[in-house]
Amino acid sequence: MKKWYKESYFDRKNWILENFDKLNLNADETVLLLLVELCRQSKKTITYEYLTEKLHKNTKDIDRLIAGLVNRHYLKLSTNSRGLVFDIEGIFEFDPEKYEISVNHDIYELVSDVFGKPLSPTEMQKMNDLIETYGQDSFLQALRIAEANRKLKMAYIEGVLRNEK
């Protein structure tokens, strides 16, 4: 069965604009999602250069926007032979009338501080997957162990979590 947001009559851009406030999206996040949707419709490859030019932001700011969307499962990143692939179908999986959506920026900031740099979108996705699988408390404990051993990589944190389990 085809998902409702994949039907030909469904206007994804209008839906984003109608629901951005219920989804706790700020203006920059909303525009980024609209640009991703525009590129999907026109089959255009999305690059950081394109996003920085359109949003008038530097790559660090773009990374933060992407990380926030990945953290809320509104955006998934993958790669193919042409480069990065942006998938925003996660945003349509949330029913804004049904769900109370809250964002926990504290853990993102904590991990960024421990790593000494903003996390890449890939690191954010991995972090979210680990928290979903093992829980936030276990993730934070593994982060402490990684920090103590000076092995600040998501792969190391994942190994600690697997060993603990």
Give the whole-number percent of the chain exceeding pLDDT 70. Answer: 91
Residue range(s) defining the domain that contains residue 23:
1-96
Q: What is the pLDDT of residue 100?
A: 39
Q: What is the pLDDT of residue 102?
A: 39
Same domain, 54 and 108: no
Q: What is the pLDDT of residue 6?
A: 75
Q: Is residue 95 over pLDDT 80?
A: no
CA distance 30 to 37: 11
Same domain, 23 and 52: yes
The total number of structural domains in the chain stands at 2
Return the residue matching tokens 């949003």: 55
Same domain, 91 and 110: no
CA proximity to 145, closest of 131, 165, 159: 159
Q: What is the pLDDT of residue 99?
A: 44
